[in-house]
Amino acid sequence: MPVTRETILTAISDIALPQGGTLGGTDLVRALVVDGDTVRFVIEVENAATGRAMQPVEAEARARIERLPGVAKVQIVMTAPARPEPPKAVSGAAPSLKVGGHPKPQAGPQAIPGVRSIVAIGSGKGGVGKSTVTSNLAVALARAGRRVGLLDADIYGPSQPRMMGVSGRPASPDGQRIEPMHAHGVTVMSIGLMLKEGEALVWRGPMLMGALQQLLQQVNWGELDVLLIDLPPGTGDVQLSLCQKAPVTGAIIVSTPQDVALLDARRAIDMFNKLKTPVLGLVENMSTYVCPNCGHEAHLFGHGGVASEAEALGLPFLGALPLQLEVRLAGDSGQPAALGDGAVAEAYGQLADRLIRGGIA
Ligand SMILES: Nc1ncnc2c1ncn2[C@@H]1O[C@H](COP(=O)(O)OP(=O)(O)OP(=O)(O)O)[C@@H](O)[C@H]1O
């Protein structure tokens, strides 16, 4: 039987650390991947000196994993994170709520109290409409009577405040817990609400992870059937951190039908597979364009590519969403198109329905 992530973590969890405590009691083990009979992971240490002190721990972990049936090769890499940027790297006075900062040690994924399921929305390529799909899906689920949260974790380009029409700074009466915003029946939180508009975040990996951890754990999400997480495009720190810090139910991948977008989508799927996060299915955005004047239907980015890719990968194809000027205008005005009654709202209604029937939302 192939060895599992859980078996490995259990096998090494009680190894004592030189600084006290055990390996299982920290979140030093990162990016654990089981690839057939090969096990790979990273042990993150504070600096080179801690790394040297941790060498016996690494050796003991390697020996224990090598003894597990089904393991032929163990690759352990010890890394020290780049020093985080000091908070002044963010211009303006964003962190009065102290969002950002080094992540707190956390042993494995931590559930968010009251949140039944967590769905990450990802894409390989930027600009394919991931944020648009997330906001419209959130609205469609809320219209279907679900209790929905939307976390904008697109730390480099948070667009949910604009798309959902929320602004202002979230309150934090006790300086610890953060009150989310509410729009169109959806509970919304975005790193963008902590920053001035147009302000780019220049935090590095560890700060990003700290910010994400806070947005997951310090926001008063309340009781939710589903929390949708709008990820940054690509396969970086935020995705990795999310799948390690939160029990993600699954990921939905958004792509346009273009080959180049599909190629990147494949990379995103591969990353979620490596992180052992189930891919719930693929969505094709900007699928068809119907000219509002003459009704002519055109396929600007090709058509059907995502459905055939899903079939080839043995993944569900969750639906095709049309390219429409109305969608962009609605997104820009903070009133997602799924609030209306047209073809777009119907397509999102079907997508929402599918997730509800599948027990995901
Ligand atoms: N189906 C659609 N029809 C028309 N415009 C769309 C559609 N989907 C997205 N857009 C527009 O395309 C632009 C990019 O969309 P969006 O910001 O949702 O993409 P993204 O993948 O989240 O991008 P990023 O890489 O910045 O995170 C936006 O202006 C949006 O309004």
Give yes or no: residues 119 and 75 share one domain: no
Q: Looking at the structure, do residues 203 and 326 belong to the same domain, yes or no?
A: yes
Pair (75, 119) in one structural domain: no
CA of 101 to the centre of ligand 1 (A): 30
- Write the single-letter amino acid at 94: A
Instruction: Give the model's pLDDT for residue 185.
Output: 96
Q: In this structure, what token pair is assigned to residue 71?
A: 């393991």
Q: Residue 183 is inside which H or E element, if any? A: strand 181-183
* Cα 314 from Cα 167, distance rounded (Å): 41
Last residue of a domain, one of 55, 79, 103: 79
84 within domain boundaries: no
- Partners of 171 in the β-ladder: none
**Residues 6 or more apart from 127 whose CB is under 8 A from it?**
233
Å from CA of 239 to ligand 1 middle = 19
CB 58 within 8 A of CB 35: no
What digits encode the pLDDT tens for the residues 100-123? Answer: 556 666 667 889 999 999 999 999
Nearest ligand 1 atom to the CA of 159 is 17
| CATH at residue 182 | 3.40.50.300
The pLDDT of residue 26 is 80
Q: What is the pTM of this model?
A: 0.73
Q: Provide the token pair at 240.
A: 């990795």
Q: In the prediction, which pLDDT does 204 show?
A: 61
- Give the separation between CA 215 and CA 351, rounded to whole angstroms: 26
User: Do 194 and 266 reside in the same domain of the chain?
Assistant: yes
Identify whether 146 is part of a domain.
yes
Stated as kind and residue range, the H or E segment containing 101 is none
This model of the complex carries an ipTM of 0.97
Bind-site residues for ATP: 124-131
Number of CB atoms found within 10 A of residue 360's CB: 20
Question: Mind giving me the DSSP string for 200-236?
Answer: PP---HHHHHHHHHHHHHTB---SEEEEEEEPPSSSS
pLDDT, residue 81, reads 56
Same domain, 50 and 139: no
Task: Determine, yes or no, domain membership for 107.
Answer: no
Is residue 211 in a domain? yes
Range of the domain at 160: 115-357
pLDDT for position 93: 32
- In angstroms, what is the span from residue 331 Cα to ligand 1's centroid? 8
Give how many domains the chain has, as a whole number. 2
Closest protein CA for atom 2 of ligand 1: 323
Cα of 222 from ligand 1 centre, angstroms: 29
- Confirm or reject: Cβ of 127 under 6 Å from ligand 1: yes
**pLDDT (0 to 100) of residue 183:** 96
Can you list the residues of the chain whose pLDDT is less than 50?
A: 82-97
Are 48 and 176 part of one and the same domain? no
